[in-house]
Amino acid sequence: YLREYCGVWIRDASCLVFEYSPRVNLISEVPFEEADDWAFVLGIDLGFNDPTAFVVIAYSQDLRQAFVVESYKESGLIPSAVAAHVEGFLGQYPFTRIVADTGGFGKGYAEEMKKRFSIPVVAAQKHNKHGYIELINGDFRTGGLQICGEGNAALLDEISLLQWDLDRMERGNMVMDRRRFQNHLCDAMLYAWRECAHQVGEFQHDDEPEYGSRAYWEREADRMEQEEIERFEAESDTPWWSM
């Protein structure tokens, strides 16, 4: 009503990529004193003209939660400058995993960090991105993923604004709208979150992958993608692969 009849600009929350809620997911500080099994992951979205983004996530299997500790992005970083930032994070956190987007020129950055600076960076998992966004949104809804307000202002700005590309969304293609919104910190967050194992420990049948394992999340992502394809085909006479 406000948008169509009153001509007032409003944010359509249904078009946002991430189901982040300040009421559920925003905290003042990470409760490190509540557990002693903390593990840390660093996610990196590499860029030059676009910003290079860094996101640090801590997770605890005892608490069954993950926490975005801090994040940062900066444009124009050459490989040695990226490595210097990573070394700075390494001085603060005992990372179990450092993951980076190695697509395109990012592969050269990653190789430079490994060979010249001995930084054990691995390629971020990028397949079935939409499926994993659905999974991380599940963590947002249940409070399984929390974001510390201090040190993550730019990330919170991205999450609050990032929307799906509405033109492609109408054709059944769920793609972030990179023309109007920045997503670099959000991507780095997703890369890091995919490496977290804070949900490990629930009961599962012997023939099922361990809950929270990479095999489990890959199976869930494939299941969600198949359900989305079947839903789309049920609503359209045009096969999804010809759109």
Q: Averaged over 74-84, what is the pLDDT?
A: 93
pTM > 0.85: yes or no: no
pLDDT digit string (tens) for 87-109?
Answer: 999 999 999 999 998 877 778 88
Sequence-distant (6+) residues with CB within 8 A of 40 are 56, 57, 58, 69, 93, 94, 95, 96
Query: Amino acid letter at 111?
Result: E
What's the half-sphere exposure (Cβ side, CA atoms, 13 Å) at 85?
23
pLDDT digit string (tens) for 118-153?
Answer: 898 998 887 777 788 889 999 999 999 999 999 999
Q: Where is mean pLDDT largest: 73-77, 113-117, 218-222? A: 73-77
